Amino acid sequence: GAGVSQSPSNKVTEKGKDVELRCDPISGHTALYWYRQSLGQGLEFLIYFQGNSAPDKSGLPSDRFSAERTGGSVSTLTIQRTQQEDSAVYLCASSLDGRESDTQYFGPGTRLTVL
């Protein structure tokens, strides 16, 4: 079946602009995760959605970052007033039900460049 898809694959924006990154998880997966991969920080957790539960936003680096998941499927990560340090690859993953031993399957990522 289809894997996790993300769009756009690349995004170049100017400092101060808002951006939206989209993630479409594997069909039937109830858990969805966002991670960020940057040269300085490596791979870091951002946010976790599981079913209808309140999301775990503990990894979001600032209040400029927000995310939502509509209908338990597609998720959008929004970065407001982008800064150059937001430049990174944003990876989305999904898993079957969010258990600790669940395998997380990743999408191809969105490469964000803030000029």
Partner 1 sequence: AQKITQTQPGMFVQEKEAVTLDCTYDTSDQSYGLFWYKQPSSGEMIFLIYQGSYDEQNATEGRYSLNFQKARKSANLVISASQLGDSAMYFCAMNRGYKLIFGSGTRLLVRP
Tell me how far, at minimum, the Cβ of 1 lies from partner 1, in Å. 15
Q: Which stretch binds partner 1 (CB under 8 A): 11-19, 66-74, 76-84, 95-103?
A: 95-103
User: In this structure, is the dihedral angle defined by the CA atoms of residues 82, 87, 109 and 69, taken in order, positive or negative?
Assistant: negative
Residue 47 near residue 35, CB atoms below 8 Å: no
Q: Does 67 bind partner 1 (CB under 8 A)?
A: no
Tell me how far, at minimum, the Cβ of 62 lies from partner 1, in Å. 19
Q: Does 109 bind partner 1 (CB under 8 A)?
A: yes
Residue 39 near residue 87, CB atoms below 8 Å: no
